[in-house]
Amino acid sequence: MPILACAAADRDAFPRVSEWIEQRGRSFGDRLACSVSEAFARGFSTVLVTGIDTPPPSDLAPVFTILERGAAPAVIAPARDGGVNLIGLREPALHLLRDIDAGQRDVAARFQREFPDLVTLDMQSDIDSPADVARASVERDWIPFRSLVLACVPRVRSTVVPRNSPAGALAVSVSRAPPAAF
C-alpha cells in the first residue's frame, strides 16, 4: 500500500493516494527519518522510500522479497550523482537517514559502509536539473515518462536523432529565454 509523506498543503496534487504521513522535521534528513519511523510505527515490516525525481524500478516485488525474507537488511538504487533513488529497509536506520541532505553525493557509499549485506539495484539518473533530462530520458525506467519529463521542463527543447547516432537517442539544448506559457 503506498503512503505519501508530504506537507498537508500538497495533498490535493495526489488525489489517488489514500494514506498520508505528515512530514515533520527541520532538515531533509529529519523529515525522511520521521516518515520512515512513522511507517514502521504503523506496523509495516519493510519500508521502501523513493523520491519524486526518478521512477521506481518497474518491478518492486523482488525488492520486497529480498527484505521480507531477510536476505539483506537494506536495498538501494543508487543515483548516477552518488545519491540514492530508492531506499528499502527492514528496520528504520534513523541515524543514517537523519544525516542525509538533499543533493548529497555520498549517500550510496554511506549505505554500502553501513550495511555490508546491502543489495544494490541498477543505477539510474534522477532529475535535479535540466541537464539531467537527456541522460534520464534514454534509461529503461525513464522511457515511459520521457514525454512527461520533457513537458515539465519548459526551458528544455528536445530533438530526436537516429538511434545509431553518436549523440544517442535524444539531444537536449537549454534555452536562455524565459519559459513559454502553455
Enclosing domain of residue 146: 130-174
In this predicted model, what pLDDT tens digit does every residue of 101-159 receive, in sequence order?
A: 887 888 889 999 999 899 999 888 888 877 787 777 778 888 888 777 777 665 544 44
**Alpha-carbon torsion, ordered 50, 55, 58, 60, to 10 deg:** 0
- Per-residue model confidence (pLDDT) at position 88: 93
CATH number of the CATH domain containing 19: 3.90.550.10
Mean predicted confidence (pLDDT) in 153-181: 39
Do 75 and 145 fall within a single domain? no
**Of 117, 119, 108, 93, nearest in space to 32 by CA:** 93
